[in-house]
């Protein structure tokens, strides 16, 4: 029972960190960009842990109704073969502090919270707030963009605040195909890393993407497949 609780707790903390730093697919590291004012997007993907027999389904719609503030409200469903099924709701607002331009840098700030609904009654349900400062740097006429994050989240289960970080890069391989590489983590946990591809089926309207990832020093690897639609 104790081992099961520890496993569930670890999975929930990973969900909090991923939700709290989420950017345009297939990144986990956030970027200093938002959907155009008056526009919306829908991001959805499935993620499969290879050795832990765990599947995640993410659904994240977001809009920028007025001004430079993007609002996201969505959720995650996690099915673990040993621990059962849990869900996480995500509410987030991201505002631009400095617009990212070609061969220049941009800044953004993200505030939000996740609400965990674990199947195990030992785990604490409730809202877990987070904050994230985001920087992006355009290089080579936007053919390479670097993203860096520093943030924190309140882990109510352990009654402590955890610091988070992320570093990623997206590289244009051709006008429709992008490669991504990133590393991210949080205080008192081993970092994770992943590589992936983003392909625009309809340029700047509909993309498909995928990643391969792993966590350092832990037998945890995953694959993900997703879509992103803008309208």
- The tokens for 190 are 């081993």
> Is there a contact between 94 and 102 (Cβ–Cβ < 8 Å)?
no
Q: How many domains does the chain have?
A: 1
pLDDT tens-place values along the chain, 231 residues long: 433 333 444 444 455 455 555 568 899 999 999 999 999 999 999 999 977 789 999 999 999 998 899 999 999 999 988 778 889 999 999 999 999 999 999 999 999 999 987 666 566 667 899 999 999 999 999 999 999 999 999 887 778 899 999 999 999 999 999 999 999 999 988 999 999 999 999 999 999 999 999 999 888 899 999 999 999
What is the model's pLDDT at position 51?
A: 77
Cβ-Cβ contacts under 8 Å for 97 (sequence gap 6 or more):
32, 107, 108, 109
**Which among 191, 190, 183, 193 is positioned nearest to 214, based on CA atoms?**
193
CATH number for the domain that contains residue 72: 2.40.160.40
Give the C-alpha separation, 47 to 142, whole Å.
Answer: 29
Q: Which domain holds residue 124?
A: 2-230
- pTM, rounded to two decimals: 0.87
């Amino acid at each position: 029972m104790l081992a099961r609780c520890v496993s569930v707790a670890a999975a929930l903390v990973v969900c909090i960190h991923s939700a709290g730093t989420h950017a345009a697919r297939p990144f986990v590291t956030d970027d200093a960009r938002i959907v155009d004012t008056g526009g919306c997007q829908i991001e959805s993907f499935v993620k499969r842990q290879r050795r832990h027999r765990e599947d995640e389904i993410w659904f994240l719609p977001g809009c920028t109704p007025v001004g430079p503030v993007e609002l996201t409200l969505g959720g995650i469903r996690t099915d673990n073969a040993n621990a059962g099924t849990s869900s996480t709701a995500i509410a987030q607002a991201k505002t631009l502090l400095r617009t990212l331009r070609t061969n220049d840098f941009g800044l953004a700030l993200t505030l939000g919270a996740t609400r965990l609904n674990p199947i195990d009654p030992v785990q604490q349900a409730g809202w877990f707030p987070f904050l994230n400062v985001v920087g992006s740097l355009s290089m080579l006429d936007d053919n390479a963009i670097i993203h860096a994050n520093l943030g924190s989240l309140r882990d109510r289960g352990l009654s402590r605040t955890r610091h988070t970080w992320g570093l990623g890069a997206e590289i244009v391989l051709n006008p429709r195909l992008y490669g991504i590489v990133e590393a991210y983590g949080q205080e008192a946990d081993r970092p994770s890393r992943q590589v992936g591809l983003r392909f625009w089926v309809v340029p700047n309207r509909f993309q498909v993407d995928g990643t391969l990832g792993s966590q350092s020093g832990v037998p945890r690897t995953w694959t993900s497949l997703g879509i992103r639609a803008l309208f």
